[in-house]
Structure 1
């Protein structure tokens, strides 16, 4: 495990804090980075880049509660991955193969189809983000913990001070509210559950 980014941190307590965060969130961050890039070769680099970005914000990170801290670190990784994907896309567009009149024009562009799917997925994700911002904070947190962080009802209940047996119902209600907002804003067909 190469933790060269720790050399940037001067204070020993800050080094320990960052190292503890790294060890605590590494499995989740590795999973998230791979889900964005689908490339195991760059996952660790992206995680390290994310930690380099959060090192100047150590005092802010210390002030966050555990679930907000997790959310902040995962979002930092998400943006690092998106930056990487954008850079790779620009780099791939500049590749010159040499000949201008060759058979490459006759081969279907499979990368374009994948890129188009990612673009559609990104648009849907942005629309969902706008819907979630309209929800109350508790509902937003419930949906985030359940579906983004894949937390169990017991963990969600402990974090949000909700009885474990009621978490599933609260999540269902939050999901219904989100679907209601989507149907009002976008004209989606909402099915009752």
Structure 2
């Protein structure tokens, strides 16, 4: 049972945590180090972690390590959109103007995302970038599923309001 839990943690959760850290703005080397440290800590304290709370525990440890790194380097946390995926979504038929407009729109989206509260930004990221279900998000954050739905509604509303205020005035 213990080996199955360790395999489950490593295969499913660590890749997800790595992606999340990179999206938060962590460079790949630091993200790998944080994931490795998190996994080591999980192995060290495996007997003290409740089986149903492993995901939330891993995420909290990794995120706290990332925030410690940010404080150490005196930087702010900003979401990033994967450049490669973004560029691959462009088709050959698009003109340079379209590419520039897409780049501007991406910057506007990032600016808006980075203007909203951390919890709302994280919820939007979990739901729409990582495609997690309400239940999975609730497990990760150790909150009720209905609370996730409420917070996500508020996050979408906050994003829409900021978007309208900034970009629909033009």
Report matched runs for 1:83-162 at 5 Å: 111=92, 113=94, 115-162=96-143
Q: Which has the higher contact order (CA 8 A, sep 6+)?
A: 2
Deviations for 1:68-125, whole angstroms, at most 9, x for unmatched residues? Answer: 969x9xx89935x279x59xxxxxxxxxxxxxxxxxxxxxxx8352554444333212
Pairing partner for 1:174 from 137, 140, 155: 155
Pairing partner for 2:33 from 27, 34, 59: 59
Would you say the 8 A contact 1:145–1:156 is kept in 2? yes
In 1, Cα distance between equivalents of 2:12 and 2:158: 35
Quote the RMSD (CA, aligned, Å): 4.3
In 2, Cα distance between equivalents of 1:62 and 1:122: 34
The Cα shift of 1:130 comes to 0.5
Would you say the 8 A contact 1:142–1:174 is kept in 2? yes
Deviations for 1:126-150, whole angstroms, at most 9, x for unmatched residues? Answer: 2111111111110001100010001
Would you say the 8 A contact 1:182–1:188 is kept in 2? no
Larger radius of gyration: 1
Would you say the 8 A contact 2:126–2:137 is kept in 1? yes
Give the number of equivalent residue pairs. Answer: 118
Aligned to 2:165: 184
In 2, Cα distance between equivalents of 1:78 and 1:146: 16
